[in-house]
Structure 1
Amino acid sequence: MSHDGPFYQRDRDWHSPAFTPGYKTSILRSPQRALLSIENTLSEMTGPVFGRDILGPRDNDLITNFGGTGEAIGQRLIVYGRVLDENGRGLPGVLVEFWQANAGGRYRHHKEGYRAALDPNFGGCGRAITDQDGGYHFRTIKPGAYPWPNRVNDWRPAHIHFSIFGEAFAQRLITQMYFEGDPMIWQCPIVGTIPSREAIETLVAALDRQATTHMDALAYKFDIVLRGRRQTMFENKLEGH
């Protein structure tokens, strides 16, 4: 389904400022000149279209999609939700990609500096395509917290990264999901760039005991909003219009 007409402008006061010195990498990547506002172009308001034929049978199962016959170690989770447009409409056919650290807080990356062990059965990435109501889901393990070279003793709370490609290029979104009840959320310099507690709470997935799998996995619900005045937070980087 294609979008008919220009998208709503984003509310810049809702999102993080591009320049936030407490988050070191924002210093060099923030714009040095005034921003320009231009109308949506046709190419931004159309495409791409993703089909389910691009998915492998275990792309949305991070517990089993890397290790062959083995399974990832950690607290087993189901993450689910809906991808919505700026008017609250569920968006079908949206490509949702996700990646994360393992249960010890380590990424499978050749430049990883954290000393936690790798899990031989956990690759840390997957993808899904939303159904007719905008729904998505995947299985994974709960990622661990980890230190990072921002300031002395800065740690990231447990989180999962998301990349969402909506029904048009102007709906591209990269964000992070946190877990309800984690006290480290409120100590994180990246989270601290977001102007309001209300906005931060849109990134916190709610524990849903009714959606758990008996004797297997807890469930967390995380809805994602593309564009509009209450778009899900973009990762402290200016994007689009």
Structure 2
Amino acid sequence: MSSSTRRRILLATAGTTGLSLALPAWARLLRTPAQALGPFFPRQLPLDSDNDLVSVAGQRGIAQGEICHLHGRVVDEAGQPVAAARVEIWQCNAFGRYHHPDDGSDRPLDANFQGYGRFTTGSDGGYRFRTIKPVAYPGRAPHVHFAVTVADRAPLVTQMYVAGALENAGDGLLRSVRQPQARAALLATFERPAAGGELLARFDIVLGAIAPAGSGKG
């Protein structure tokens, strides 16, 4: 797929996300549950840290794994879009290994997988990434780490899981979210378009209240 075609797909996903309507004053969306940062957040960000994780600057190949377009919107509890939110994701490669010095497993590295990406939301709160469908590794269900940072609002660190993955039942972090609705909010469905092509998945993120003045959160 050419870079211009990839760019068109990434831009097109911005208009296909949900949560498009503001809620009545009395209604509130369920806040996305926080999850552990984990040990593999990059110590040093890669030189190529855009929102296309399957194509690395200086590399000619494409990452191993099932390529997908992961998109969604960042909104507040009233359903209003949150603009200028920095959305960061990181995940293991298709073999179950992170680009991190503390991952000492013998699983292969993938020089064509960026492993980390970031995107700043626009006025619609939308974000989009081209990455791979996450895979399981020993002790963990397939997941993608998220960090969302917005000025004057408490930052959110969470994880997104694959709906229907067999490993979900045994994942301690996912099971620690006791409320069924909150746990379901961490699941994303990966689907292939009827016309074929790369997978699509949507994961909407609901942030909590604005941080109190002088809290130092941002």
TM-score, normalised to structure 2, is: 0.70
**For the aligned residues, what is the CA RMSD?**
2.9
Given the alignment of the two structures, is residue 223 of structure 1 paired with residue 204 of structure 2, yes or no? yes
Residue 98 of structure 1 is matched in structure 2 by 89
Matches within 5 A, 1:48-87: 59-65=50-56, 68-87=59-78
Give the paired residue count.
172
Residue 127 of structure 1 is matched in structure 2 by 118
Residue 16 of structure 2 is matched in structure 1 by none
Given the alignment of the two structures, is residue 160 of structure 1 paired with residue 141 of structure 2, yes or no? no
Per the alignment, do residues 108 and 75 of structure 1 end up closer, same or farther by CA in structure 2, a change over 3 Å counting?
A: same
Per the alignment, do residues 213 and 63 of structure 1 end up closer, same or farther by CA in structure 2, a change over 3 Å counting?
A: farther
User: Is the 1:16–1:195 contact (alpha carbons within 8 Å) kept by the matching residues of 2?
Assistant: no
Tell me the SS of whatever aligns to 1:191.
helix
Per the alignment, do residues 57 and 67 of structure 1 end up closer, same or farther by CA in structure 2, a change over 3 Å counting?
A: closer
Inter-partner Cα distance in structure 1 for 2:34 and 2:126 = 27
| Match 1:187 to one of 166, 170, 174 | 170
Residue 205 of structure 1 is matched in structure 2 by 188
How much has 1:16 moved relative to structure 2? 7.9
* Structure 2 runs not aligned, ≥5 long: 1-29, 40-46, 210-216
How much has 1:171 moved relative to structure 2? 2.7
Per the alignment, do residues 89 and 198 of structure 1 end up closer, same or farther by CA in structure 2, a change over 3 Å counting?
A: same
Given the alignment of the two structures, is residue 174 of structure 1 paired with residue 157 of structure 2, yes or no? yes
Residue 3 of structure 1 is matched in structure 2 by none
Per the alignment, do residues 113 and 216 of structure 1 end up closer, same or farther by CA in structure 2, a change over 3 Å counting?
A: same
User: Is the 2:35–2:157 contact (alpha carbons within 8 Å) kept by the matching residues of 1?
Assistant: no
How much has 1:108 moved relative to structure 2? 1.1
Per the alignment, do residues 121 and 188 of structure 1 end up closer, same or farther by CA in structure 2, a change over 3 Å counting?
A: same
Inter-partner Cα distance in structure 1 for 2:83 and 2:195 = 29
Per the alignment, do residues 66 and 197 of structure 1 end up closer, same or farther by CA in structure 2, a change over 3 Å counting?
A: farther
Please give the per-residue CA displacement for 1:34-67, whole angstroms capped at 9, x wherever unaligned: xxxxxxxxxxxxxxxxxxxxxx997000011355
Inter-partner Cα distance in structure 1 for 2:85 and 2:146 = 12
User: Is the 2:48–2:57 contact (alpha carbons within 8 Å) kept by the matching residues of 1?
Assistant: no
Per the alignment, do residues 215 and 67 of structure 1 end up closer, same or farther by CA in structure 2, a change over 3 Å counting?
A: farther
* Largest Rg, 1 or 2: 1
Identity fraction in percent: 40
Per the alignment, do residues 199 and 94 of structure 1 end up closer, same or farther by CA in structure 2, a change over 3 Å counting?
A: same
How much has 1:196 moved relative to structure 2? 1.5
TM-score, normalised to structure 1, is: 0.64
How much has 1:115 moved relative to structure 2? 2.0
Inter-partner Cα distance in structure 2 for 1:162 and 1:102 = 16
Given the alignment of the two structures, is residue 116 of structure 1 paired with residue 107 of structure 2, yes or no? yes
Please give the per-residue CA displacement for 1:175-204, whole angstroms capped at 9, x wherever unaligned: 000111112112111112112121111000
Please give the per-residue CA displacement for 1:109-129, whole angstroms capped at 9, x wherever unaligned: 112132211112113001001
How much has 1:89 moved relative to structure 2? 0.5
* Structure 1 runs not aligned, ≥5 long: 1-10, 19-24, 26-55, 148-154, 229-239
Residue 9 of structure 2 is matched in structure 1 by none
